[in-house]
Amino acid sequence: MVVDIIYNTPNFIPIGILIPIYFYITGLHAGFYTTSVMATLIGIKEWKPIGKIGAAGAVIILTIAPIFLLIDLGRPLRFWHLFVYLNPTSPITWGTFFLTTYPIIGLVYAWNVFRGNQKAAKIWGLVGFPIAISVHGYTGFILALGKARVLWNTSLNPILFLVSAMVSGLALIILVANIRLRYFTSRSTSQEREGDKRVINTLILYLIIFIIVDLFLIGSDLAVLATHSRDAYYSLLLLIVGPWALWFLGVEIFLGEIIPLAMLSFRKIRLAAWGQNIASILILIGIFVMRIIIVVGGQNVPLH
Amino acid sequence: MNNGGKVRYGMVIDLRRCIGCHSCSIACKSENNVPLGVFRSWVKQIEKGRYPRVMRAFLPSLCNNCEKPICVKNCPVNASYQRDDGIVMIDIHRCIGCRYCIASCPYDARYLDPIKHIVQKCFWCYHRIDAGLEPACVDTCIGRARIFGDLNDIESEVSRLIASNAVQVLKPEMDTEPRVFYIQADIDAMETRGGSIWLSI
């Protein structure tokens, strides 16, 4: 049946690029915090620098993140409505709650880490862990509960967001740790530097595991999209052969996950700082593009 | 005759009578001062078949004021709320413009007002209904294709039309229970067809 659309109103894309940037930043935060808490719980001296980088980074990132939310609002000066008028069924209300309770806990945790109070740091780290994860996890739920958009409305989105958050967070921590090792450890002993190197190499192994899990989740998402519904099939085509194909297959999958995975599977490259840094940068770019594709690309399938 | 119960408004659009003149769209724009570039009510027009067996189908769309609205569920500040008579309203002083409701609506009924920077949509001209009139699009339709009334009143024209005709709604699988019913809507007009912008279907 040949059908021509003679007239239709344009497809309006309500959520722009500021929201994916916010999702990306809270994702980095979740990765930083998780790595820092893990380092604190392990408690060995050589993990201390990672604990400090993670804690400080998490606090800095979470101070920057709400700014993007604020400038994205249609009426920024009405942001206080979010604290006064609550809707328990809306994920954005949950997010407001998490974003307000986390900073104090995060600050206390970071303070304890930098002061060296091991026990207090462990307690505050564990107390803050579910809230810090929720600060990013709720964004996955924002998308999953957006029932109208088929690329959003999958139960995989919350866990996919958390796994990509871990991937990007680990990548950035490895990058920062390598920079610190190269330029800021002039006063450390060579033994300490050896210890730092060992820790970074362990983080690389975790990064590889999380990349594989991420690829599996994306693969399952695509596999179900292919058969779920007509709009789902169009979403899949949009990503694979349509206008987003270059960004999705080229940047997110190939450059962002396959190439780093290939690079890090060779022992020589995996242990070399340049290999780790290049892989990390590629991963950071890839995960950023992934957020944009899901949020903006998901709105490219018209609803009417 | 409503059995003393609540009023629940609904609309029936009879596509046997629609001629695709877009008067409803213009009347709505005029009545509600809708800014340029955004629409509260619009008419989608398709042409299907190969000559000599061809047809033009129209699909006038507006907010369905669903029974189970996703937009109300997802609004973080309760700016979107549903009146007792079923119309989904927006508190223009409370909306912060986060646009989550626009992203949640399966029917693309909402838009961001480019002048006020809050979200607006079709309200079935509640200001006219409360004054005893009909919505502007219903009043203007020259084919009398739009019929508005109380769904809970079994003797209203909408109830009679729904009871005696095969009616459809848009996207029933979304479980929103829309309250705009179409008679003889064409399936090819109702389908989004992926926008057909880059894929020939």
With contact defined as beta carbons under 8 Å apart, do A71 and A170 qualify?
Answer: no
Residue-level pLDDT at A231: 87
Point out the least confidently predicted range of A174-178, A229-233, B32-36, B176-180: A229-233
- A-B contacts at Cβ under 8 angstroms: 158
Residue A12: pLDDT band with limits 50, 70, 90: confident
Q: Is the pLDDT of residue B78 over 70?
A: yes
Residue A10, pLDDT score: 86
Q: Are strands A3-7 and B42-50 parallel, antiparallel or unpaired?
A: antiparallel
Flag the least confident range among A121-135, B154-168, B183-197. Answer: B183-197
Could you tell me if residue B192 is left (phi over 0), alpha (psi between -120 and 50 degrees) or otherwise beta? alpha
Inter-chain touch B74–A242, beta carbons under 8 Å: no
CB contact under 8 A, A302 and B188: no
The predicted model gives A137-157 an average pLDDT of 94
Residue B54 contacts A where some CB pair is shorter than 8 Å = no
A88 CB within 8 Å of a chain B CB: no
Contact A12 B38 (CB under 8 A): yes
CB atoms within 10 A of CB A230: 13
Contact A90, A138 (CB under 8 A): no
Q: What percentage of chain A reaches a pLDDT higher than 90?
A: 80
pLDDT digits (tens, 9 = 90+) for A191-214: 888 999 999 999 999 999 999 999
3-state secondary structure of A9: coil
Checking if the pLDDT of A2 tops 90, the result is no
Estimate to the nearest angstrom the gap between the alpha carbon of A30 and the chain centroid: 7
Which residues share a beta bridge with B120? B111
The three state secondary structure string of chain B is: CCCCCCCCEEEEEECCCCCCCCHHHHHHHHHHCCCCCCCCCEEEEEEEEECCEEEEEEEEECCCCCCCCHHHHHCCCCCEEECCCCCEEECCCCCCCCCHHHHHCCCCCCEECCCCCCEECCCCCHHHHCCCCCCHHHHHCCCCCEEEEECCCCCCHHHHHHHHCCEECCCHHHCCCCCEEEECCCHHHHCCHHHHCCCCC
* Chain A residues 264-303 with CB within 8 Å of chain B: 299-303
Q: Which band of pLDDT confidence, cut at 50, 70 and 90, is reported for residue A90?
A: very high
Which CA distances in Å does A275 have to A171, A269, A280, A287? 12, 5, 8, 18
pLDDT at res. A230: 86
**Per-residue pLDDT reduced to its tens digit, B85-134:** 999 999 999 999 999 999 999 999 999 999 999 999 999 999 999 999 99
Task: Find the distance separating the first CA and the last CA of chain B, reported in whole Å.
Answer: 48
Q: Mean pLDDT score of chain A, rounded to an integer?
A: 93
Enter the ipTM: 0.91
What is the per-residue DSSP string for A13-78?
--S-SHHHHHHHHHHHHHHHHHHHHHHHHH--GGGHHHHHHHHHHHHHHHHHHHHHHHHHSSSGGG
B21, B59, B192: which to substitute to probe chain A, counting the most A Cβ within 10 Å?
B192
pLDDT band at B196 (very low <50, low <70, confident <90, very high): low
User: Is a pLDDT exceeding 80 seen at residue A170?
Assistant: yes
Per-residue tokens: B190: 């109702």
Residues of A whose CB is below 8 A from B201? 3
- In angstroms, the CA B119 to CA B128 distance is 21
DSSP code of A262?
H
How confident is the model at residue B2, as a pLDDT?
A: 65
Which of A72-76, A111-115, A231-235 is predicted least confidently? A231-235
Tokens representing B60 are 């006038």
Give the Cα separation of A287 and A289 in Å (integer): 5
Say whether A301 and B192 touch across the interface (CB within 8 A): yes
User: Can you read off the two tokens belonging to residue A101?
Assistant: 């309770």
Question: What gap in Å lies between CA A123 and CA A107, rounded to an integer?
Answer: 13
- pLDDT above 70 (res A217): yes
Does the pLDDT at position B201 exceed 50? no
Over residues B48-77, mean pLDDT:
95
Where does the pLDDT of residue B3 fall: very low under 50, low under 70, confident under 90, or very high at 90 and above?
Answer: low
CB contact under 8 Å between B104 and A146, yes or no, is yes
For chain A, the helix, strand and coil percentages under 3-state DSSP, each to the nearest 5: 80, 0, 20
pLDDT band at B200 (very low <50, low <70, confident <90, very high): very low
The answer to whether residue B197 scores a pLDDT higher than 90 is no
What pLDDT was estimated at residue A188? 83
pLDDT digits (tens, 9 = 90+) for B131-172: 999 999 999 999 999 999 999 999 999 999 999 999 999 999
